[in-house]
Amino acid sequence: MNSDSDLIKGGISGPWVAVAGNPNCGKTTLFNRLTGSRYKVANYPGVTVECKSGLLPIRAQSTEQKFLQVVDLPGTYSLSGTSTDEQIAIRALTGANPPSAVIAVVDSTNLTRNLFLVSQLIDLRLPLIVALNMSDEAEKAGINIYREILARQLNVAVVKIVAYRGQGLDELTRAVELLLSSPTVSVNAFAWAADKHTASGIPPLLSTPSIPDYPANGLYAPDPHEEEASLRYSWISEIVAKSCGKSSATEPNRTDRLDSFLTHKLWGPVTLFFVLGFVFQIVFAWSRMPMDLIAYGFEAVGAWLSGIITAGPLRNLLVDGVLAGVSSLIVFVPQIALLFLCIGLLEDSGYLCRAAFVLDRFMRRFGLQGRSFIPLLSCFACNVPGIMATRIIPSKRERLTTIMISPFMSCSARLPVYSVMIGAFIPRTPTSGFLSLQGVVLLGLYLLGIVGAIVSAILFDRLHRNRESAPFVMEMAPFRTPSLRVVLRGVLDRILVFIKSTGTVIVLSSVIVWFAATYPRPTETGQDLRHTYAGQIGAFIEPAIRPLGFNWEIGVGILSSFAAREVFVSTLATVYSVQSDEPSTSLARSLEEKRRAGLFTLPTALSLLIFYVFACQCLPTLAVCRRETGAWRFPVLMFGYMTLIAYCMSFITYQTAVLFLN
């Protein structure tokens, strides 16, 4: 990817072209097509909204080809609202460096509503091109838009395109080139009033439309925003009547028919259950093999490196520290890729809105909203992609709450810890029903996490009472065949963003944990953890964790599992000098012996299990939380809050267990 454009350090510099439009109008598809692989994703300064900027090859003035910066503005329905997306769009369009041209992407099947934003863009007096996207769908629906008439009515260039098929793009590019070489601005479009500024602060247009003379019944006084919107739509419907062969249709179509099934009282939730179950299965189970392959691959590289570097601290650093760190970073990629593949397909096809629609009422009980469900569900596979997935939640307040409760969902990395402890300490006795006592305990741990999440969500919601929720008002996008191109590109973007933003933290933390757990090394080749830095810290915190039933060895295990939770099992295996290829099973056996010997008791095991349900000591999770919230205080709060809860719950568990079992 080309880094010619230094976009984000304090705004857009140099000449650029904006791509604006409603959400779901195919703007992203067009942007991808125009820029090819020449684009990058970054954050707008100070907010967590992402900015996509790229390079469009054009021929301007001379015949040589050069590149023009293109920025994909956030999808908005208007420029007069107060949401972050709209603020960003209006700031970019009216700031110190306005674009040289604006491409307004319009969904041809929804011309009237899409022209609202266009009318506001015209107000801004920027050189404008209207790109009528999805013109193939419009034709199929019997909507005939007369391009030349529309262009004359709006007084801007109008081009018909089908972005996902790549049709009309050359014409669009030529239109952009023409506009850049001789910029014209639309005049005489629409008038608000001769001497009144529009309520939104955007300067008024000209000419006088007719207002529908509908009785208002004296019930209320329309405010300036309403009047303005009303006038705009009157103007727009006149234009559409003149330039469209068919007015806004109100007959049911394929989307409506599908929806009567998908949002049905019974079939809606049933379909949802199967779809979400399938998504979960994909993210949880199908990622196993790629993850194992990655781990195996890195081990192979490690073995090769061990072969060519002589034994010593350098080799240990490279293989056990850095390489292991990189491996623990890359191992996240399959789950992130699969989750965003599913989300991308669900979103592009239009099903995601239906899922949110069905779930919204249920989720709202906990201070969340419909779209929170999928990210939270994926957290059961892994918190990292789950938190990244919260970007599908448009409202900042609900998004934050969802992120903050994500770690309560027991991720798959906690399973080795759960299974070792349950295997060693919970008898296999069958209970009434089809689950053994072991199964019941495991289920209980997951449910405990969910209860913790619900309580926290309600608490956070109370705390943020004053912070306004964004309106739910959600467009039910028409069902479309998802564009694999766009979805895959989105997956790649997510992976790159993940590696770029959290890569250093993850690898570094792995190296630090390895270092602390290895040095200082006793002279013999035995692995005595007691004398290492990690062991010393474990011994140091032992008085604090003894009320939880933990000794210094467990302390070391908890500290080392900061880099990755699974490390706990191997650390403990090391401590108890378990030498084998299957640390989990042999550790369980070893622990069982210790239990019988009274060295590692049931209360300790229970306390440890509870600790792992509630503790957030996964650094990758905290790093992703930082990236997605854009502030340090959230991961810090998350860590502090959950550590406190983990400590208290663990304490209660241990003391109660000791009381009852003695």
Partner 1 sequence: MKHDSPTTLAMIRRGERAIVVGLNAGSQQLRNRLLSMGVVRGSEVMVTGVAPFGDPIDVRVLNSRIALRLSEASHIIVIPKS
Q: Which residues bind partner 1 (CB under 8 A)?
A: 77-78, 80-83, 109-113, 116-117, 212, 214, 216-217, 219-220, 222-223, 225-226, 229-230, 233-234, 248-250, 255-256, 259-260, 263, 265, 268-269, 353, 356-358, 360-362, 468, 470-476, 478
The residue (of 230 and 536) whose beta carbon lies closer to partner 1 is: 230
- In whole angstroms, how close is the CB of 113 to partner 1 at the nearest point? 5
The residue (of 110 and 584) whose beta carbon lies closer to partner 1 is: 110
The residue (of 23 and 423) whose beta carbon lies closer to partner 1 is: 23
Strands 65-72 and 50-59: antiparallel
The residue (of 292 and 475) whose beta carbon lies closer to partner 1 is: 475
Phi, psi (5° rounding) for residue 16?
-155, 165
The residue (of 23 and 290) whose beta carbon lies closer to partner 1 is: 23
| Cβ proximity of 79 and 121 under 8 Å | yes
Looking at residue 270, the DSSP 8-state letter turns out to be: H
Q: What is the C-alpha to C-alpha distance for residues 325 and 197, in angstroms, rounded to an integer?
A: 59
The residue (of 199 and 499) whose beta carbon lies closer to partner 1 is: 199
Measure Cα distances from 571 to 71, 267, 370, 512, 563 in Å.
Answer: 49, 48, 40, 15, 12
- In whole angstroms, how close is the CB of 16 to partner 1 at the nearest point? 25
Q: What is the C-alpha to C-alpha distance for residues 569 and 386, in angstroms, rounded to an integer?
A: 24
- In whole angstroms, how close is the CB of 139 to partner 1 at the nearest point? 15
- In whole angstroms, how close is the CB of 534 to partner 1 at the nearest point? 51
The residue (of 237 and 604) whose beta carbon lies closer to partner 1 is: 237
| Cβ proximity of 422 and 438 under 8 Å | yes
- In whole angstroms, how close is the CB of 31 to partner 1 at the nearest point? 22
* Ranges of H-type helices in 317-414: 324-330, 333-349, 351-364, 373-379, 383-388, 396-405
Measure Cα distances from 129 to 30, 366, 479, 485 in Å.
Answer: 14, 45, 27, 25
The residue (of 230 and 419) whose beta carbon lies closer to partner 1 is: 230
- In whole angstroms, how close is the CB of 394 to partner 1 at the nearest point? 11
The set of residues, in sequence order, having a beta carbon less than 8 Å from that of 267 and lying 6+ positions away, is 261
- In whole angstroms, how close is the CB of 369 to partner 1 at the nearest point? 9
The set of residues, in sequence order, having a beta carbon less than 8 Å from that of 393 and lying 6+ positions away, is 369, 371, 372, 375, 399, 402
- Sign, CA dihedral 20-24-30-36, equals positive
Q: What is the C-alpha to C-alpha distance for residues 193 and 212, in angstroms, rounded to an integer?
A: 16
- In whole angstroms, how close is the CB of 484 to partner 1 at the nearest point? 25
Q: Which amino acid would we find at residue 203?
A: P
- In whole angstroms, how close is the CB of 398 to partner 1 at the nearest point? 13
Q: Which amino acid would we find at residue 367?
A: G
| Cβ proximity of 118 and 35 under 8 Å | no
- In whole angstroms, how close is the CB of 252 to partner 1 at the nearest point? 8
The residue (of 291 and 476) whose beta carbon lies closer to partner 1 is: 476
The residue (of 38 and 371) whose beta carbon lies closer to partner 1 is: 371
Q: What is the C-alpha to C-alpha distance for residues 231 and 611, in angstroms, rounded to an integer?
A: 61
Looking at residue 266, the DSSP 8-state letter turns out to be: T
